[in-house]
A and B are shown apart, each in its own frame.
Chain A
Amino acid sequence: MNDIFFIAIAALGLLILFAALRLAIGPTAPDRVVALDTINTLIVGAMILLAVYLKQTIFVDVAIVYALLSFLGTIAISKYIGGEL
């Protein structure tokens, strides 16, 4: 079972690399924010899996705080792009 968690984490890492491709080439600023949001979601998923793989409960707490803080970051960048800040 542990091998399957490792394979899933590796697949998520690969997906993060592909999403970073859109972050690099995205023609406009909102495209880049979309790619950043995707990477944040994938990182939260990978952290939850890592908590089970390494048997460290603290990783899930880090994932909760990461999800909330990345949401604040997305909101701040969106307000800046929309000209409300």
Chain B
Amino acid sequence: MIETAAMICLGIGILFNTLGVIGILRFPDVYTRLHAETKMTTFGTIFLALGVILYAGGMLAGTGDNQYLTIAIHTAIALIALAFTNATGSHAIARAAHRSGQLPDPSVVDRLAEVKSND
């Protein structure tokens, strides 16, 4: 039962990771690629880690081995670190891309460039 739930989580994770990589290859400019990268791979990796936590919890209840408790707690810590650092890192990349003079290529409105040209 719990193994089936872990399997479904792994499947969802791989699906979203695949869509994220397709998005990186398909989208037209760097900002839309960042959308695909940040959201989809973070969400996919959260589901992969959830699958691992479920599996480790099931094995812990089954065998009582302390090793699985360690795996579950450390995976949760890795998950928190990953979610925070991914969002902040993508913010840094977007800011650097706009500072280096790369404007959003198909765009309907760009308030930041208007503010910068007024200075």
Contacts and interface: CB of A to CB of B under 8 A. Distances in A.
A adjacent to B, CB under 8 Å: yes
Interface of A: 1, 4-5, 8, 11-12, 15, 18-19, 21-22, 28-31, 33-35, 37-38, 41-42, 44-45, 48-49, 51-52, 55, 57, 60-61, 63-64, 67-68, 70-71, 74-75, 78-79, 81-84
B82 interface: yes
A57 B42 contact: no
Contacts, number: 142
Given A42-B41, A71-B89, A81-B96, 13 more contacts: A11-B14, A15-B21, A21-B25, A29-B100, A31-B30, A41-B45, A42-B17, A45-B44, A48-B48, A51-B75, A52-B55, A57-B67, A74-B93
Q: Is the interface on chain B under 10, 10 to 19, 20 to 34, or 35 or more residues?
A: 35 or more
Contacts of B45: 41-42, 44-45
Given A31-B30, A38-B37, A61-B74, A44 B82 contact: yes
Interface of B: 3, 6-7, 10, 13-14, 17-18, 20-21, 24-25, 30, 33-34, 37, 41-42, 44-45, 48-49, 52, 55-56, 67, 70-71, 74-75, 77-78, 81-82, 85-86, 88-90, 92-93, 95-97, 99-100, 102
Contacts of A4: 7, 10
**Main SS at interface, chain A:** helix
Closest A-B pairs by Cβ, 6 of them? A82-B96, A71-B85, A30-B97, A78-B96, A82-B99, A60-B74
A8 B52 CA distance: 12
A41 B17 CA distance: 10
B95 A78 contact: yes
8 contacts: A1-B6, A19-B21, A28-B30, A45-B49, A52-B52, A81-B96, A82-B100, A83-B100
Given A67-B78, A67-B81, A22 B14 contact: no
